[in-house]
Chain A
Amino acid sequence: MSESDNSTPHGVARRPLSSERASADTADLQNSLGNLAGLVTGSLGLPELLEKVATFAAHAIPGADGAGVTLLRVDRPDNRVEALAASHPFVSEIDQIQYVTLNEGPCITAALEGRTVRSGSLGGEKMWPRFGPRVGRLGIHSALSLPLLVPGQVVGAINVYAHGKDVFDDHAAELGELFAAPAAVAVHNAQILTQALALTTQLQAALSTRPVIDQAIGLLRGRTGGTAEEAFNSLRAISQAEHTKLADVAQHIVDEAVRRARTRHTNS
């Protein structure tokens, strides 16, 4: 592994950059940054936005064969890392190994330590003795992980992979960091909006359904003399047995009782 400085472990050479390559890379980066700016005007949800960020990262960083985005759960003391988007299926496979199977790898290091890390020979990488050889056997030999930084905080990381060895040099890391800066802001703001929408959507749904659930609980309690908890558990059992939403079960029970009441009134 190396940090994004002038060190070149594992033979990651500082190759002279031709002017053609430099201008092509800059064009790719500009294009991807432009796409990133376009993202935020499109009112995407967080998962879609992360997937686009992963795809644009794969285009922006020279040599990349695929990229993924992970976020830190900043509300948890263990700062658990979640893999949330991948540009290609092989990235999802690597993320599964990194986050679920081994809990070890470049993106975890980048996200938790807030620094750019890279490796040009994952199979022999000492920093991740279990992760490196495992993905090396999958034919993935180079990794570049870029922290998503907002002021004073790491919110996640972008993972970039390549099949070849020593693919990501200093130039790639610099371009990656240029891409990661606005990506971090876009991702983090989308995260706030997503959480705000999740909270208000949950409140809205619960406030809409709680009254009828309580009325159904009352109906069941009237029949059985049991507690509210027992009545709720009965509703839930019906809901699970019939594969029907709890609120729909409650609504049905109340509707049936009201129908019977109205029928009695009509007939009396």
Chain B
Amino acid sequence: MTITPGLAAELALLTQALDLPDTNVADTLTRLTADAQAAVDSYLGLSVAITASQSRFGFTVLDEGVRPEHIRTSLLIPLTPAADENTATASVALILYAGTPGAFVDLAADLAWITGRASADFLLDEHRALASRNADPATLAAKSIINQAIGVLIGRGATPEEAERDLHERAVKAGIDPLAAATLILAALTPPDPEAA
């Protein structure tokens, strides 16, 4: 499995947000991949697409040397993680890919049996074409910078709505995108002058 540096950075951001000892999202992904490889001989990779709290995030990880045209079969596993007080209900799609037609037939049947869901919920071969990397063009790192800038503006007395509007107006005025405007806001921060205190 190849985790690109970009994806590794995003998974690190998510792991940091969890702030749970012994929990690393990249490790969980590695374990899932290892289990799927053990279950299906011709396993090639997987895609995850998740939407939670209006944030969309998705990625595909393929085994080394695998190209999209090697994919001959796919299995969509429907998952609905339980939400708690801190987490919004999410929509999740996990798709496994393999190189041998029919490779997922047994696994799909077993998973339907395990979960008590209808076999038809486990979609075979409907997602053989890889989705684009991320339906949302803004990366998590970019969103992180934009949200930090909004936090700066809230700290200066703006409501969240005003902060978002302010950021947008700065971007339009300077002819740059919101990420660049947010970066400028953060770059302009300076430690308070101790003599002014």
Q: Considering the complex, which residues of chain B in the window 177-197 have a beta carbon less than 8 Å from any beta carbon of chain A?
A: 186, 189-192
Q: Is A188 an interface residue (CB 8 A)?
A: yes
Contacts of A193 in B (CB 8 A): 77, 111, 114-115
CB <8 Å contact, A221 and B19: no
Please indicate the chain A residues that have their CB under 8 angstroms from the CB of B36 in the complex: 192
Nearest-Cβ distance from residue B155 to partner chain A, whole angstroms: 4
- Which segment of B23-31, B62-70, B123-131, B168-176 sits at the interface? B23-31
Known contacts A204-B83, A208-B53, A225-B190; decide if A199 and B32 are in contact (CB<8 Å). yes
B147, closest chain A residue (CB): A214
Whether, in the assembled complex, B3 has its beta carbon less than 8 Å from a beta carbon of chain A, the answer is no
A258-B154 in contact given A151-B41, A210-B13 (Cβ < 8 Å): yes
Complex interface: chain B residues within 8 A of A219 (CB) = 151-152, 154-155
Task: Check A211 against B38 for contact (C-beta < 8 Å).
Answer: no
- Give the docked Cα–Cα distance between A262 and B107 (Å): 54
Cα–Cα, bound, A224→B144 (Å): 18
Inter-subunit contact A261/B159 (CB<8 Å)? yes
- Complex contacts, A190 vs chain B, CB 8 Å: 114
A13 touches B (CB below 8 Å): no
A264 within 8 A of B: yes
Q: Are B191 and A224 in contact (CB-based, < 8 A)?
A: yes
Nearest CB in chain A: distance from B141 CB, A: 10
A198 engages B189 (CB within 8 Å): no
* Count class of interface residues, chain B: 35 or more
* Also in contact, A189 and B110, with CB within 8 A (given A43-B115, A219-B154): yes
> Would you call B157 an interface residue if the criterion is a C-beta within 8 Å of the partner chain's C-beta atoms?
yes
Q: A234 in the interface, Cβ–Cβ < 8 Å?
A: no
Is the Cβ of B143 less than 8 Å from the Cβ of A204?
no
Q: Which residue of B lies closest to A264 (CB)?
A: B157
Cβ-defined contact, B19 with A185, below 8 A = no
Q: By the criterion CB–CB under 8 Å, are A214 and B144 in contact? A: yes
CA distance A216 to B148 in the complex (A): 7
Q: Is A189 in contact with B18, judged by CB distance below 8 angstroms?
A: no
Q: B34, A75: Cβ atoms under 8 Å?
A: yes
Q: Which residues of A contact B8 (CB under 8 A)?
A: none
Shortest distance in angstroms between A73's beta carbon and chain B's nearest beta carbon?
A: 8
- Asked if A205 lies at the interface with its beta carbon under 8 angstroms from chain B, I say yes
Residues in A whose Cβ lies below 8 Å from that of B25: 199, 202-203, 206
CB <8 Å contact, B17 and A200: no
Shortest Cβ distance from A268 into chain B, in angstroms? 10
Which residue of chain B lies nearest to A248 when distances are taken between CB atoms in the complex?
B86
Q: How far is the CB of A239 from chain B (nearest CB, A)?
A: 7
Given contacts A195-B28, A196-B32, contact A218 B52 (CB under 8 A): no
CB distance from A252 to the nearest CB of B (A): 12
Contact A258–B28 (Cβ < 8 Å)? no
Do A200 and B38 contact each other (CB < 8 Å), given the known contacts A195-B28, A214-B144, A262-B159?
no
What residues on A are CB-neighbors of B139 within 8 Å? none
B92 proximal to A (CB < 8 A): yes
Contact across chains for B148 and A199 when beta carbons are under 8 A apart: no
Cross-interface CB contact of A218 among B19, B53, B152, B159, cutoff 8 Å: B152
Indicate whether A181 reaches chain B with its CB closer than 8 angstroms.
no
* Per-residue contact bits, chain B 30-63, to A (CB 8 Å; 1 contact, 0 not): 1111111111010000001010110101000000
**Chain B positions near chain A (C-beta within 8 angstroms):** 13-19, 23, 25, 27-39, 41, 48, 50, 52-53, 55, 57, 77, 79, 81-84, 86-88, 90, 92, 94, 107, 110-111, 113-116, 140, 143-145, 147-160, 162, 186, 189-192
| Given pairs A155-B38, A200-B92, 12 additional interface contacts (CB within 8 A) | A192-B39, A206-B25, A207-B50, A207-B53, A208-B90, A211-B53, A221-B148, A221-B152, A245-B86, A261-B162, A264-B157, A265-B159
A residues apposed to B, CB below 8 Å: 40-43, 73-75, 150-153, 155, 185-186, 188-193, 195-211, 213-226, 228, 232, 236, 239, 245-248, 254, 257-258, 260-262, 264-265
Q: Can you list 28 A-B pairs, Cβ within 8 angstroms, ordered by A?
A: A75-B30, A185-B110, A186-B114, A189-B39, A193-B111, A197-B81, A199-B25, A200-B79, A203-B25, A203-B92, A204-B50, A204-B83, A206-B17, A207-B90, A208-B88, A209-B18, A209-B86, A213-B17, A214-B145, A214-B147, A218-B150, A218-B153, A218-B154, A225-B191, A246-B19, A254-B154, A257-B154, A262-B159
